[in-house]
Amino acid sequence: MEPYRFKQGSLPLLVSMPHCGTYVPPEIAGRLSAVARTVPDTDWHMPELYDFLEDLDASVLQATHSRYVIDLNRAPDNRALYVGANNTELCPLKTFDMEEIYLDGQAPDEAEVAQRRASFWQPYHDRIAAELAAIKTRHGYALLWDAHSIRSVLPRFFEGRLPDLNLGSADGQAAAPGLLDLLTAVARDAEPLGYSHAANGRFKGGYITRSHGNPAEGIHAVQLELTQCTYMDEASPFGLREDLAAQVRPVLSGLVHAMLAWAEVELHAQGFPSPNSA
């Protein structure tokens, strides 16, 4: 199986879904624990949740393989994303609930990690870089939206319940402050609908946001970590709740549209060409 699915759109926007994949190659699956074979830490149903992207005609990149094969949102040298916090590895060894992913003695060694990085991690990041470069060539700037979801309560990573809409720009290193301010305002407008939010809080953006965002060059990257209770059953078998998804989907669409509108106005004012003039 190919390491990703990609659809090219016409807008100056690439949406990345690095944790939506569930496929585990047989030679790896046979070494996993029973719980790991159910890939519980997947960002479930991302393509269905973001189905409005089809009509919007954004470029979309979706991982096919499970994050248990390799985590596309971690640094290639396996350095920690959050210093002093509990972090998962490039090739995770424990589930979010601290259960063993591999059977005894079956964890990958350094050579296997390097092979997985070359086979799965590198092609995904090469595609991000190539598409952002192509978008910038066509439009004068490029936008990257990194779409994630996570269980609303995960003691390993945070206390209590996570806010629903967690926006991250690596503390302003991956996107202009004005963009995150606007997105935060859009998220705040969703509070009457029952959705809480945070900006550069527990989730500031992972390796994808941090490494591909470059505001000085007109490339702005934002990560959204969405609580799964807003659109699905958080317990196995992790079913999509379309009644919930239908309510949060317009909020997600509003955030993406706000990002596009901001770029057309603000980046054009800074000297980057408008997509309408490209």
> For the structural domain made of 4-277, what CATH number should be given?
3.40.630.40
Helices (H), the chain: 26-29, 46-49, 53-56, 110-116, 122-139, 177-189, 207-212, 242-262, 268-269
Query: For residue 278, what pLDDT is reported?
Result: 41
Domain positions in the chain are: 4-277
Could you count the other beta carbons within 10 Å of the beta carbon of residue 85? 11
Q: What is the edge-to-edge ordering of all strands in the sheet holding 13-17?
A: 4-7, 59-63, 13-17, 142-150, 219-227, 165-168, 197-199
pLDDT tens for 198-216 read: 999 989 999 999 999 999 9
pLDDT tens for 127-154 read: 999 999 999 999 999 999 999 999 999 9
Could you count the other beta carbons within 10 Å of the beta carbon of residue 73? 25
Average model confidence (pLDDT) across the chain: 94
Distance CA 98, CA 93 (A): 9
Distance CA 222, CA 224 (A): 7
Q: What integer is the mean pLDDT of 120-130?
A: 98
pLDDT tens for 173-200 read: 999 999 999 999 999 999 999 999 999 9
